[in-house]
Structure 1
Amino acid sequence: MLRAVLSLFGCAKPPAAFKERNYKPESEDAKTERSPEQPGVFELAYSLLKAKTEALLANDQALLSQEYNSLLDCDVLETVEAAEHTNNAGKNRYVNVLPFDYNRVKISGEDGQDYINASLVQSAANESPSWCYIAAQGPLASTVDDFWRMVFENNCSILIMLTRTVENNHIKCADYFNQRPGETAKFGAYRVTTTDVQEVSPDITKRTLQLELCTTQEVHEVTHYHYHRWPDFGVPESTEPIRRLVRILWQNRSSCIQQTTVVHCSAGIGRTGTLMAIDVILRRLWAMAEQGASSGPAEVSAAVDLPAVVHSLRKQRKGMVQTLEQYYFCYEAVLHEMQELTGRGSGDSAPANSSGNGHIIAH
């Protein structure tokens, strides 16, 4: 049985028949009425992922390492000439994390100064539900003006921050907004005012920011989510906060097709790529469930094909999902969400053969 289940996991393209609709959990009556011979999307996804994670962690995690390392063979060698240009080199936080020329985000500027370390990362043209992000590095003190210009010019209304400004005594991101409501800061041509602060959870702070272009007084509202307990190069102790954040994103996007969301950590690849991978897979499953049509194991397997998702992300920004632990955390988060949705528990119990905190065993 395990072999049959695992044979469904390949690098198939995601199904192209999903609908963009707002997800609502099934009622208990609907669950009761479903025939046992026709398991729903969440039941199928849970069974597939449970078998997959158990196999990945077997034999000292041999299959997990093999699957993750195989993605290195898929690395795309695109040009990064703009990022390496003499005028732009100082705008990069890390010399080895650079946006590709073909999909780098461009901002307006005098004398052709259109560079910022950010990449447009999006779904294929025929993929549904569609998704679109700007993956960015945490702004430097010298690039905060450019960062807000990017947000303003791309009309981005959701901004996700996955790092603290200082971690392990190293600056990971410049201060680009004020913490408390009522405070205003000016960055070049932009004025940023914090109008509201809410603690979504102990891990996530939601802020409403008013972004104003001073020359025209045009105002743009940005909802800022700061997930401030995700360690650099590591993973959180629980998948619940990241799943909560992804659910919030799904609800916020329901009325906006192909809305672009800015996501950044420090480099814009590790924590940023991990959140995106989890978000993409859960959006697929929620959309399939909302569509209501029967989906078989092959369709669900394609929807949760993590290697294909990570490969798609890395084709658009090198190094997305930076570590083996972050890669497995993607599997954990989706499995835990399916576990919760199918009534099998709260969602953060550790899979078989994993360490006590639910993550892979470090060697």
Structure 2
Amino acid sequence: MELFIAGGRIEANLDVGCLDFQRVVLNIGPVSYIHANYVSTPVSPKRFICTQAPLAKTCAEFWYMVVQENSDAIIMLCNFVEQGSKKSADYVPLTPDTSPKTFEGVTVTLKKQEQFQFPIQTKVNVVVSSLEVKVPNSPVHKCSHYHWRDWPDRGVPETDLAPVYLLTKIQSTTTPIIIHCSAGIGRTGSIVLIQHALELLNSQQPLGEIRGLLLALRKQRNNSIQTEHQYLYIHQVLLLYLKKMKYLDETAVPYLEKFTTDYVAATRGF
């Protein structure tokens, strides 16, 4: 973590180190360092880039990374302000009538914005923005920004298959999916771990224990998954998916129902 330690002025959370292993190195733009790591899944060794929310002084670096990696999709899992605290710089135009954002020669333009349409009834609120990004000496880059607006910090949303449908929407992308919350480890790690498990299940590979996947994830993105509730949330989403796909034997259904009851009791209040 030598570069993380040296770059303290550009860290949102000094207690969340950026591992040198799998660290994204910027080859365009004025600096090479950004608090971001490639994270692998069965589909690709660079399926995700997990990163902290942009700070006011790192917005340009964030967009250089998007363009360098040719990323089609960005998932934002925090709000700009949560419980009175600033969690992310305003690195994207917030509404269609907002002027383009500029950061040290980088221009971000919002072309279209709409509500993500889930095929199920859900309280999850995701807004999709179509963006055009222009950095010096590169053509205009187009990408989609998926903003999950109601996932509480260090908590969990109401559990249903919303994350599965969101991930299904962008699963065909072949470039790294850039994903962040505030620190880029808790909510971010939860979605990454769900996607990893889904890829195993959909390719008929053994899933094994989630704990093993978590330990592997933490070797790529330090401290991923912050709370017990987030860890339980991953299990609950996957169990709902197994039930929907009829991967569960009927004898397992009572255990799922018991787990769901206990899960709801444990996470009540978020």
- TM-score normalised according to structure 2 size: 0.86
Report the CA distance between 1:203 and its aligned residue: 0.9
Contact 2:28 2:64 in 1 (8 A): no
Q: Which has the higher contact order (CA 8 A, sep 6+)?
A: 1
Change (3 A) 1:342 1:192: same
Question: What is residue 104 of structure 2 aligned with on the other side?
Answer: 188
- Which letter maps to 1:225? Y
3-state SS, counterpart of residue 38 of structure 2: strand
Distance in 1 of aligned mates of 2:265 and 2:145: 28
Matched, 1:106 2:29: no
Matching residue within 25, 32, 35 for 1:117: 35
Distance in 2 of aligned mates of 1:82 and 1:131: 21
Distance in 2 of aligned mates of 1:136 and 1:260: 12
Identity %: 28
Distance in 2 of aligned mates of 1:103 and 1:331: 26
- Which letter maps to 1:351? E
Which of these two proteins has the greater Rg computed from alpha carbons? 1
Distance in 2 of aligned mates of 1:338 and 1:128: 20
Report the CA distance between 1:130 and its aligned residue: 5.7
Change (3 A) 1:359 1:156: farther
3-state SS, counterpart of residue 140 of structure 1: coil
Matching residue within 80, 83, 90 for 2:4: 83
Contact 1:131 1:280 in 2 (8 A): no
Number of aligned residue pairs: give it. 256
Report the CA distance between 1:185 and its aligned residue: 1.4
Aligned ranges for residues 223-302 of structure 1 at < 5 Å?
223-250=144-171, 252-253=172-173, 256=174, 259-288=175-204, 299=205, 302=206
Change (3 A) 1:81 1:129: closer
Report the CA distance between 1:231 and its aligned residue: 0.3
Aligned ranges for residues 78-227 of structure 1 at < 5 Å?
80-85=1-6, 88-108=7-27, 113-123=31-41, 127-128=42-43, 132-181=47-96, 183-201=99-117, 203-213=125-135, 215-216=136-137, 218-227=139-148
Distance in 1 of aligned mates of 2:12 and 2:82: 15
- Which letter maps to 2:90? D
- Which letter maps to 2:37? S
Contact 2:43 2:199 in 1 (8 A): no
Distance in 2 of aligned mates of 1:129 and 1:138: 23
Question: What is residue 51 of structure 1 aligned with on the other side?
Answer: none
Report the CA distance between 1:108 and its aligned residue: 3.6
Contact 2:159 2:233 in 1 (8 A): no
Contact 2:236 2:260 in 1 (8 A): no
Change (3 A) 1:147 1:131: closer
Moved over 4 A (4+): 127-131, 353-357
Distance in 2 of aligned mates of 1:326 and 1:354: 14
- Which letter maps to 1:209? L
3-state SS, counterpart of residue 352 of structure 1: helix
Question: What is residue 8 of structure 1 aligned with on the other side?
Answer: none
Report the CA distance between 1:240 and its aligned residue: 2.7
Specify every segment of 5 or more residues in structure 2 that has no aligned partner in the other structure, as ranges: 118-123, 249-255
Contact 1:328 1:360 in 2 (8 A): no
Distance in 1 of aligned mates of 2:127 and 2:267: 30
Question: What is residue 244 of structure 2 aligned with on the other side?
Answer: 340
Change (3 A) 1:275 1:128: closer
Distance in 1 of aligned mates of 2:150 and 2:29: 38
Question: What is residue 321 of structure 1 aligned with on the other side?
Answer: 225
Q: Flag the structure with higher helix content.
A: 1
Change (3 A) 1:361 1:235: closer
1:106-137 CA-partner distances (Å, limit 9, x unpaired): 114678x31111111124xxx45666211000
Report the CA distance between 1:308 and its aligned residue: 1.5
- Which letter maps to 2:258? A
- TM-score normalised according to structure 1 size: 0.65
Report the aligned-residue RMSD: 2.5
Change (3 A) 1:225 1:150: same
1:78-97 CA-partner distances (Å, limit 9, x unpaired): xx110111xx2110000111
